[in-house]
């Protein structure tokens, strides 16, 4: 089951050898519907996303902004289940060949069963899991299960973090922490050789190019969600997210 974690590493390494950052696209499973979400994520990859994060919708997504909270609410009201999240990951990876990570808060994993969640994620073709609210020092149970099933474990460093550990995620608000995020990336790199990817509310090629100047990957979520929310119908939304992915893909290549 180690193939997909190796694929994740390979995609990040390839981007680095090309002198650019990887483009990481995020969308919650079940949004706008389960099938519609799969189609939207496929459009994101076809447009230029290198890596995909599939969100597990949560009723209290405290670390997400209002746009993603809206998408989570739509997915939950649509009855999305963890099995739908796994199906989304499976279908996206099978159709595109892109590495797919699951992003989830810890409580759903704990309630589902840590070993069961890791096993099901690996069986679905997932490359790993992002756990934004799981402290590194409390993660041993998960990390053991993830290692057993060949999954990457991705921790999130907030701009308020004083010390960085083994991780590759940074989150924050684009307007207020641009320089702070760059400083945090530099500090993180002193403690790990893992790639460091940054999500800062990037929504256009210029912002993508700026973040790509100091990060190994640029994570975009809300901008894709907003394209779907603003679209009059699914087909228009698919066109919009594909076009955005194409524009952002050009942006992450401008850092070279």
Tell me, yes or no, if 64 is annotated catalytic.
Answer: yes
Annotated catalytic residue: which of 50, 53, 84, 120? 53
| Element counts in the chain: helices (H) and strands (E) | 11, 9
Buried/exposed 122-133: b ≥16 CB within 10 Å, e otherwise: bebbbbbbbbbe
Q: Is 60 exposed, middle or buried (0-12, 13-18, 19+ CB in 10 A)?
A: exposed
| Residue/partner pairs of 225-231 with CB below 8 Å, 24 or more apart | 225/27, 225/28, 225/31, 225/67, 225/68, 225/70, 225/71, 226/67, 228/27, 228/31, 228/32, 228/40, 228/71, 229/67, 229/70, 229/71
- In 99-254, the DSSP E strands lie at 100-103, 128-130, 152-154, 156-157, 169-171, 197-199, 217-220
What is the longest distance spanned by two Cα atoms in the chain? 47
Catalytic residue selected from 50, 64, 84, 120 = 64
Catalytic site residues?
53, 64
């Amino acid at each position: 089951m180690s193939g997909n974690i190796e694929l994740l590493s390979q995609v990040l390494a390839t981007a680095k050898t090309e002198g650019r950052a990887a483009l990481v696209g995020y969308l919650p499973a079940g949004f706008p519907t389960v099938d519609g979400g799969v189609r939207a994520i496929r459009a994101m990859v076809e447009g230029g996303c290198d890596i995909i994060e599939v969100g597990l919708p949560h009723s209290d997504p405290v670390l997400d902004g209002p746009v993603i909270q809206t998408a989570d609410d739509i997915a939950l009201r649509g009855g999305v289940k963890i099995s739908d999240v796994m199906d989304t990951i499976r279908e996206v990876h099978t159709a595109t060949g892109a590495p797919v990570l699951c992003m989830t808060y810890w409580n759903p994993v704990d309630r589902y069963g840590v070993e069961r969640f890791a096993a099901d994620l690996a069986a679905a073709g997932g490359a790993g899991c992002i756990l934004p609210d799981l402290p590194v020092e409390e993660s041993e149970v998960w990390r053991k299960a993830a290692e057993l099933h060949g999954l990457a474990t991705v921790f999130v460093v907030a701009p308020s973090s004083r010390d960085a550990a083994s991780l590759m995620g940074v989150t924050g608000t684009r307007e207020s922490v641009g320089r702070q995020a760059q400083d945090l990336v530099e500090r993180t790199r002193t403690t790990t050789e893992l790639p460091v990817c940054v999500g800062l509310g990037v929504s256009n090629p210029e912002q993508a190019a700026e973040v790509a100047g100091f990060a190994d990957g640029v994570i975009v979520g809300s901008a894709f969600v907003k394209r779907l929310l603003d679209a009059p119908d699914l087909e228009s939304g698919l066109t919009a997210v594909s076009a955005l992915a194409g524009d952002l893909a050009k942006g992450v290549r401008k850092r070279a």
